[in-house]
C-alpha cells in the first residue's frame, strides 16, 4: 500500500519542474512497423532497473513490460503461464513444479534455461542479508532444477495462493550487472534513458507470446503535475495515466479520449476499533448509516467510482461481493437511533486523520465531516504529512479515524483480508473478532477453491456486519490517450501494459 | 558602555519601520489615511460580526447541483468544488482571520511588552541577555519560526495563534525596549523614582501609558502581518484545518481550479488585499 501511495504522492505532490529538453519527434505512426508513442510518466524510474530491487510502484509498473516471471497476471487478475508453460501443485500444497516454455528468449537473444530460473528465484529468496528481496519468499524451502525443462519450488508451509508471488522477474544468470544492463523476457526491451527526462523502449521481436503492436515507446518524465495538461494540449505526449477529473475536463475538447478504469483500492474511513467510542459496534454502524456514499462520489469525484461495502474491490472477481455495498443504506434516523442506543444521543467529537498530500482523501473527509454533522457527530480533520501518517497512524495506531485507500499487493484474498486478523502486524484498525479469525484461518487452510472462496466471503461479510470501517469506494482511474491510439487495458493491479496499445 | 548604548538608541519610529517592514502611504494627509483605513476595517469587522451570527448559507454545507457555479445573485461569490457558497465561506473565513490576528497580537504584544520593558528600563546585563535571546529569535524569518512551532505543536487554529504569537515577540520587544530606553532618563520618570515609586510601578503605570501611540501603531501593523502569516500557513496546509474556512485556506484549495473556477481564488484574495490595505492605511494614520 505504501508504495502505491508513494507513487500517488509523486503524482499529486511533486512540485519540481521537469527538465524540458526535446519534446520528442513523432514519426507519423502510419505504418505499424514504424509506429511509436510518447507516454507521460509522473516520475523518473529508480536509478537501478534491477527488477528485484525496485521498490517504487512507478518503476514496477513500467518494468512490467520488460520483465516476466514464471507466471504473470492477465487483465482479469488470473495468473497465466509466462516463462513457464504450465505448473503443478502437489496435493499437500507444498511443492510447485514448473515446466518451462520452449524457446523463450532473453532480450540479448539467449534462451531461458532452468539455471536462470533457479538463479532468479534463489536471488529473491536469499536470506544471507537478512530479509529476502521478496518478503513472501521467506516461505520457500528450496528451489531445485529437476531437469533442463523443470524447476520445483518447495515451501515450508503449504500455501495454495503462493503462485501469485511467483511473478518475480526471471533474469539471466550471465548478466553481471542487472542494475544498469536490463535484460528480461517481456514484450518490450530497454533501449536507453536520460535521467529525469525520458526512457526509451522498443518492441522485442522475438517475444514468445503475442508481440506488441507499437514499435517504439518513449516514456517522458513529467514531474510537475501542473504540466500534464500543457503537455497534452501541445501534443508533447500521446498518453498519460491517472489524471484527475479536473484535468480530464480541461482536455475535453482536444484530440484525446479519456478512458476510465479503477484504482483498485478500498477507500474508506478506517476506524480505530480499540478506542472509544468506536469500540462499540453500534457507533460504527451508525457512522455507516450516516455517510452518504453516493453523495461523496457526486460531490468529490464527479459521480465516478464504485461503492464498496467491505475490504474487497471489484477487480478481485470471485471474492468481491457487490451486495455488501448496499448493506448500510443512507439512513439518518437509523444512525441517530443507534447512537442513542449506544449512549451518545447528542453525538460526540471525533477527529479524522488524513494524509495531506492526497487531495481525493482530504476532499472525501471534508464531505464526511459535513454528513456526520447531521447526526450530531462533531468531526474535525487533522491533516498530517505522509511520513507522520505512516509512523503515527499506520504503525503507531494512534488515531480515531482516518481516510485512506488500501490496496492489495497481489490479487489473493489474504492480501486484503489478512490485516483484519486480531494479531496481524498490519491490523492498524485494531479489529478484533473471534469468528473472523477462525474463518480466516479456515479459509487459508482449505485447498478446495470453492470452500476457500466461501470462507473468505464470510470474512468479508463479518467486516461489513461488524462495521469495521466506513467503506466508501474503489476510486476511478482516468487515462488520457490520443485518439490516434487505442487498446489501453486496465489491470486489477498497479501495472501498465503497453503491449496491447495499437495505432488506429 | 555609554557608547554602545548611544549606538543602539535608534528612534522608535525607525525601529518600528525596521521591525515591521514596508508601510503604505496613499493619501498625503495622515488623517485621511486613518479615516479611510478605519472605514474599511470597520466595514470588514462589521461583516465578520454579522457573519458570526448569520451567513447566507452554512459555510460548510455542500450542494451537488451548485458545484462550480459562477457568481450570481443566489451565490454572490459563486460556489467551490464542493458546491459550498464562497461568500459565506469568505465571511466565516474573515472571522477566523480576525481571531488569529488578534490572538497573535495579544500574545506577541503582551510577552513582547514585558520583555522589552524590563530590558529597556533596566539596561545592562538584563538587557544584554534578553535582547540577545530576542536577536536569536529574530534571526529567523517569522513565518519560518512559526513553521517550526506549528510542527512542534501540531496544526490548528489555536496552535497557529501560539506559534505566530511567539514568532512576533521579538519585534514587539524591540520596539518597546527602544521606547523604554528613551523614556527611562526623562524627568517625569526621575521624579516618580524620587517620590519613591517602585520599578514595577514606574514601568507599568508611568512609562507604559506614555508609549501607547507607538504600541497601537505597532499592534496594528503586527495584526496585518499576523493576518498575512496565517494566510501563508493555511496556504501551506498547516494552519486552519479543513473544512473550517480561512482566507489562506481558501486560496490554497482554489489553486487547482484557477482556470476553471477563477472566482474561487479571486474572491478571498481580493477580500484579503482590501482588508490588509485598510489596516495598513489605519496604521499609517496613527503615526
Contact at CB, A295 and B238, closer than 8 angstroms = no
For A469, phi then psi, to 5°, come to -145, 165
| Residue A194 CB neighbours (<10 A) | 13
Rounded to an integer, what distance in angstroms lies between the CA atom of residue B115 and that of residue B112?
5
The C-alpha of B250 sits at a distance from chain A's nearest C-alpha, in angstroms, of 13
pLDDT of residue A23: 33
- Average confidence score pLDDT of chain B: 83
Residues of B in contact with A249 (CB under 8 A): 260
Q: Of B249 and A202, which is predicted with more confidence?
A: A202
Strands of A286-436, DSSP E: 306-307, 349-355, 378-384, 401-407
> Does the pLDDT of residue B78 top 60, yes or no?
yes
The C-alpha of A381 sits at a distance from chain B's nearest C-alpha, in angstroms, of 6
CA A473 centroid distance within chain:
15
pLDDT of residue A279: 92
Quick one: chain B helix, strand, coil %, rounded to 5? 75, 0, 25
pLDDT of residue B25: 58
The C-alpha of A309 sits at a distance from chain B's nearest C-alpha, in angstroms, of 23
Show the cell assigned to A496.
501498465
Residues of A in contact with B238 (CB under 8 A): 383
Q: Does A409 touch chain B (CB under 8 A)?
A: no
pLDDT tens-digit map of A367-424: 999 999 999 999 999 888 777 888 889 889 999 999 998 877 677 788 889 889 988 8
Nearest CA in chain A to B68: A299
- Evaluate whether A475 touches A360 at the Cβ level (below 8 Å): yes
> Does the pLDDT of residue B3 top 90, yes or no?
no
Residues of A in contact with B242 (CB under 8 A): 362, 365-366, 381, 383
Contact at CB, A366 and B155, closer than 8 angstroms = no
Mean pLDDT of A110-127: 91
- Interface probe for B, chosen from A296, A369, A379, A388 (most Cβ of B below 10 Å), is A369
Within 13 Å, how many C-alpha atoms sit on residue B262's CB side? 2
- Evaluate whether B83 touches B264 at the Cβ level (below 8 Å): no
pLDDT band at A287 (very low <50, low <70, confident <90, very high): very high
The minimal CB distance from A356 to the residues B61, B83, B237 is found for B237
pLDDT of residue A225: 64
pLDDT of residue B21: 47
Q: Measured on CA atoms in the order B165, B168, B173, B179, is the torsion positive or negative?
A: negative
pLDDT of residue A449: 81
Domains in chain A, CATH or no CATH each? 8-25+46-181 (3.90.76.10), 265-474 (3.10.105.10)
Contact at CB, A370 and B260, closer than 8 angstroms = no
Mean pLDDT of B85-100: 90
The C-alpha of B241 sits at a distance from chain A's nearest C-alpha, in angstroms, of 6
Q: Does A367 touch chain B (CB under 8 A)?
A: yes
pLDDT tens-digit map of B101-142: 999 999 999 999 999 999 988 888 988 998 898 888 888 887
Mean pLDDT of A203-212: 91
Residues of B in contact with A380 (CB under 8 A): 241
Rounded to an integer, what distance in angstroms lies between the CA atom of residue B171 and that of residue B138?
7
pLDDT tens-digit map of A426-442: 899 999 999 999 999 88
- Interface probe for B, chosen from A228, A232, A246 (most Cβ of B below 10 Å), is A246
Interface of A with B in 149-188 (CB under 8 A): none
Q: Does A392 touch chain B (CB under 8 A)?
A: no
Contact at CB, A381 and B241, closer than 8 angstroms = yes
Mean pLDDT of A174-201: 91
Residues of A in contact with B155 (CB under 8 A): 382-383
Nearest CA in chain A to B80: A299
Min mean pLDDT across A180-184, B19-23, B185-189 is at B19-23
pLDDT of residue A48: 85
Contact at CB, B60 and A249, closer than 8 angstroms = no
Contact at CB, B260 and A249, closer than 8 angstroms = yes
pLDDT band at B9 (very low <50, low <70, confident <90, very high): very low
pLDDT band at B204 (very low <50, low <70, confident <90, very high): confident
Domains in chain B, CATH or no CATH each? 29-55+79-286 (1.10.3720.10)
Residues of B in contact with A377 (CB under 8 A): none
Interface of A with B in 89-148 (CB under 8 A): none
Residues of A in contact with B243 (CB under 8 A): 366, 369-370, 381
The minimal CB distance from A362 to the residues B62, B155, B242 is found for B242
Interface of A with B in 263-302 (CB under 8 A): 295, 298-300
Contact at CB, B257 and A380, closer than 8 angstroms = no
Nearest CA in chain B to A225: B256
pLDDT band at A226 (very low <50, low <70, confident <90, very high): low
Mean pLDDT of A474-496: 88
Beta bridge partners of A143: A153
pLDDT of residue A16: 32
Element (DSSP H or E) covering residue A480: strand A476-482
Strands of A53-149, DSSP E: 71-73, 79-81, 84-89, 95-100, 140-147
- Average confidence score pLDDT of chain A: 85
Q: Of A340 and B62, which is predicted with more confidence?
A: A340
CB under 8 Å to A108, separation ≥6 — which residues? A172, A175, A183
Q: Is A57 left (phi over 0), alpha (psi -120 to 50) or beta?
A: alpha
Mean pLDDT of B188-195: 88
Min mean pLDDT across A1-10, A132-141, B253-262 is at A1-10
Mean pLDDT of B226-230: 87
> How long, in residues, is chain A?
504
Q: Does A230 touch chain B (CB under 8 A)?
A: no
- Evaluate whether A57 touches A494 at the Cβ level (below 8 Å): yes
pLDDT of residue B82: 85
Rounded to an integer, what distance in angstroms lies between the CA atom of residue B163 and that of residue B234?
13
Nearest CA in chain B to A244: B256
Query: How big is chain B by its Cα radius of gyration, in Å?
Result: 22
Q: Of A430 and B154, which is predicted with more confidence?
A: A430
Contact at CB, B64 and A373, closer than 8 angstroms = no
pLDDT of residue A159: 81
Q: Does A500 touch chain B (CB under 8 A)?
A: no
Dihedral of the alpha carbons of B72, B74, B78, B83, in degrees to the nearest 10: -150
Contact at CB, B82 and A366, closer than 8 angstroms = yes
Contact at CB, A300 and B82, closer than 8 angstroms = yes
ipTM comes to 0.73
Q: Of B28 and A45, which is predicted with more confidence?
A: A45
Q: Of B6 and A469, which is predicted with more confidence?
A: A469
**Cell 539467449 identifies what position?**
A110
Contact at CB, B82 and A249, closer than 8 angstroms = no
Q: Is B267 left (phi over 0), alpha (psi -120 to 50) or beta?
A: alpha
Residues of A in contact with B81 (CB under 8 A): 363
Q: Of A43 and A166, which is predicted with more confidence?
A: A166
pLDDT of residue B8: 42
Rounded to an integer, what distance in angstroms lies between the CA atom of residue B101 and that of residue B96?
8
pLDDT band at B230 (very low <50, low <70, confident <90, very high): confident
| Residue A235 CB neighbours (<10 A) | 15
pLDDT band at A4 (very low <50, low <70, confident <90, very high): low
Q: Does A364 touch chain B (CB under 8 A)?
A: no
Contact at CB, A363 and B82, closer than 8 angstroms = yes
Angle at which helices B86-122 and B124-138 pack, to 10 degrees?
A: 150
> Does the pLDDT of residue B179 top 60, yes or no?
yes
Mean pLDDT of B25-48: 84
The C-alpha of B107 sits at a distance from chain A's nearest C-alpha, in angstroms, of 24
Angle at which helices B157-183 and B124-138 pack, to 10 degrees?
A: 140
Find the chain B residues whose C-beta atoms sit closer than 8 A to any C-beta of A.
60-62, 64, 67, 81-83, 154-156, 237-238, 241-243, 256-257, 259-260
> Does the pLDDT of residue B17 top 70, yes or no?
no
| Interface contacts A/B by beta carbons within 8 Å | 47
CB under 8 Å to A129, separation ≥6 — which residues? none
Contact at CB, A299 and B243, closer than 8 angstroms = no
Contact at CB, A370 and B243, closer than 8 angstroms = yes
The minimal CB distance from A369 to the residues B64, B243, B259 is found for B243
Portion of chain A with pLDDT greater than 70, in percent = 92
pLDDT band at A117 (very low <50, low <70, confident <90, very high): very high
pLDDT band at A314 (very low <50, low <70, confident <90, very high): confident
Amino acid at each position: 500500500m505504501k508504495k502505491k501511495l508513494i507513487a500517488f504522492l509523486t503524482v499529486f505532490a511533486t512540485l519540481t519542474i521537469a527538465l524540458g529538453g526535446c519534446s520528442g519527434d513523432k514519426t507519423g505512426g502510419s505504418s505499424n512497423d514504424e509506429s511509436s508513442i510518447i507516454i507521460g510518466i509522473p516520475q523518473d524510474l529508480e536509478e537501478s532497473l534491477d527488477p528485484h530491487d525496485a521498490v517504487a510502484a512507478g518503476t514496477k509498473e513500467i518494468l512490467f513490460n520488460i520483465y516476466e516471471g514464471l507466471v504473470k497476471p492477465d487483465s482479469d487478475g488470473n495468473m497465466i503461464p509466462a516463462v513457464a508453460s504450465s505448473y503443478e501443485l502437489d496435493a499437500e500444497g507444498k511443492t510447485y513444479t514448473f515446466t518451462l516454455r520452449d524457446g523463450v528468449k532473453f532480450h540479448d537473444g539467449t534462451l531461458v534455461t532452468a539455471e536462470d530460473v533457479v538463479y532468479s528465484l534463489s536471488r529473491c529468496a536469499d536470506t544471507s542479508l537478512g530479509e529476502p528481496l521478496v518478503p513472501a519468499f521467506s516461505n520457500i524451502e528450496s528451489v531445485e532444477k529437476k531437469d533442463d525443462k523443470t524447476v520445483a519450488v518447495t515451501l515450508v508451509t503449504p500455501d495454495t495462493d503462493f503462485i501469485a508471488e511467483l511473478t518475480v522477474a526471471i533474469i539471466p544468470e550471465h548478466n553481471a550487472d542487472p542494475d544498469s544492463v536490463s535484460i528480461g523476457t517481456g514484450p518490450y526491451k530497454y533501449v536507453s534513458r536520460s535521467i529525469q527526462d525520458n526512457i526509451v523502449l522498443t518492441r522485442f521481436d522475438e517475444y514468445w507470446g503475442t508481440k506488441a503492436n507499437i514499435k517504439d515507446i518513449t516514456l517522458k518524465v513529467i514531474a510537475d503535475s501542473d504540466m500534464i495538461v500543457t503537455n497534452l494540449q501541445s501534443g508533447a505526449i500521446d498518453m498519460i495515466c491517472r489524471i484527475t477529473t479536473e484535468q480530464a475536463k480541461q482536455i475535453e475538447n482536444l484530440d484525446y479520449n479519456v478512458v476510465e478504469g479503477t484504482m483498485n483500492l478500498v477507500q474508506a474511513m478506517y476506524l480505530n476499533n480499540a478506542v472509544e467510542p468506536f469500540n462499540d459496534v453500534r457507533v460504527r454502524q451508525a457512522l455507516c448509516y450516516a455517510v452518504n456514499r453516493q453523495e461523496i462520489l457526486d460531490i468529490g469525484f464527479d459521480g465516478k467510482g464504485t461503492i464498496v461495502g467491505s475490504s474487497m474491490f471489484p477487480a478481485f472477481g470471485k471474492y468481491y461481493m457487490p451486495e455488501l455495498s448496499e448493506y448500510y443504506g443512507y439512513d439518518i434516523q437509523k444512525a441517530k437511533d443507534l447512537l442513542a442506543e449506544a449512549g451518545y444521543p447528542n453525538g460526540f467529537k471525533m477527529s479524522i486523520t488524513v494524509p495531506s498530500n492526497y487531495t481525493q482523501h482530504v476532499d472525501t473527509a471534508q464531505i464526511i465531516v459535513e454528513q456526520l454533522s447531521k447526526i450530531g457527530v462533531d468531526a474535525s480533520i487533522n491533516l498530517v504529512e505522509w511520513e507522520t501518517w505512516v509512523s503515527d497512524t499506520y504503525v503507531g495506531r494512534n488515531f480515531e479515524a482516518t481516510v485512506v485507500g488500501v490496496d492489495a499487493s497481489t490479487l489473493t484474498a489474504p492480501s486484503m483480508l489478512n490485516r483484519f486478523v486480531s494479531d496481524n502486524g498490519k491490523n492498524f484498525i485494531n479489529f478484533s473478532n473471534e469468528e473472523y479469525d477462525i474463518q480466516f484461518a479456515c479459509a487459508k487452510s482449505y485447498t478446495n477453491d470453492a470452500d476457500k472462496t466461501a470462507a473468505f466471503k464470510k470474512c468479508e461479510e463479518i467486516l461489513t456486519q461488524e462495521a469495521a470501517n466506513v467503506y466508501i469506494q474503489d476510486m476511478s482511474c482516468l487515462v488520457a490517450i490520443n485518439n490516434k491510439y487505442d487498446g489501453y487495458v486496465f489491470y486489477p493491479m498497479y501495472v501498465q501494459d503497453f503491449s496491447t496499445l495499437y495505432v488506429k | 558602555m555609554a557608547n554602545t548604548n548611544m549606538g543602539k538608541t535608534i528612534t522608535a519610529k525607525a525601529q518600528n519601520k525596521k521591525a515591521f517592514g514596508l508601510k503604505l502611504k496613499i493619501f498625503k494627509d495622515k488623517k485621511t489615511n486613518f479615516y479611510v483605513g478605519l472605514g474599511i476595517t470597520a466595514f470588514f469587522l462589521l461583516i465578520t460580526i454579522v457573519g458570526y451570527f448569520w451567513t447566507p448559507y452554512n459555510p460548510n454545507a455542500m450542494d451537488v447541483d451548485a458545484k462550480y457555479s459562477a457568481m450570481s445573485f443566489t451565490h454572490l461569490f459563486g460556489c467551490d468544488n464542493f458546491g459550498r457558497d464562497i461568500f459565506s465561506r469568505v465571511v466565516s473565513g474573515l472571522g477566523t482571520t480576525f481571531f488569529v490576528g488578534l490572538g497573535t497580537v495579544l500574545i506577541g504584544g503582551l510577552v513582547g511588552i514585558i520583555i522589552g520593558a524590563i530590558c529597556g528600563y533596566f539596561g545592562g546585563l538584563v538587557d544584554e541577555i534578553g535582547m540577545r535571546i530576542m536577536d536569536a529569535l529574530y534571526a529567523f524569518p517569522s513565518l519560518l519560526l512559526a513553521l517550526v512551532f506549528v510542527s512542534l505543536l501540531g496544526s490548528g487554529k489555536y496552535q497557529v495563534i501560539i506559534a505566530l504569537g511567539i514568532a512576533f515577540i521579538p519585534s514587539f520587544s524591540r520596539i518597546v525596549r527602544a521606547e523604554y530606553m528613551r523614556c527611562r532618563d526623562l524627568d517625569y520618570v526621575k521624579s516618580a523614582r524620587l517620590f519613591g515609586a517602585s520599578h514595577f510601578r514606574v514601568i507599568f503605570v508611568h512609562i507604559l501609558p506614555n508609549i501607547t501611540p507607538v504600541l497601537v501603531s505597532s499592534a496594528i501593523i503586527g495584526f496585518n502581518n499576523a493576518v498575512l502569516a496565517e494566510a501563508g500557513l493555511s496556504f501551506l496546509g498547516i494552519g486552519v484545518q479543513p473544512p473550517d474556512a480561512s482566507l489562506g485556506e481558501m486560496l490554497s484549495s482554489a489553486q487547482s481550479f484557477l482556470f476553471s473556477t477563477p472566482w474561487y481564488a479571486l474572491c478571498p484574495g481580493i477580500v484579503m488585499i482590501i482588508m490588509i490595505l485598510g489596516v495598513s492605511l489605519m496604521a499609517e494614520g496613527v503615526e
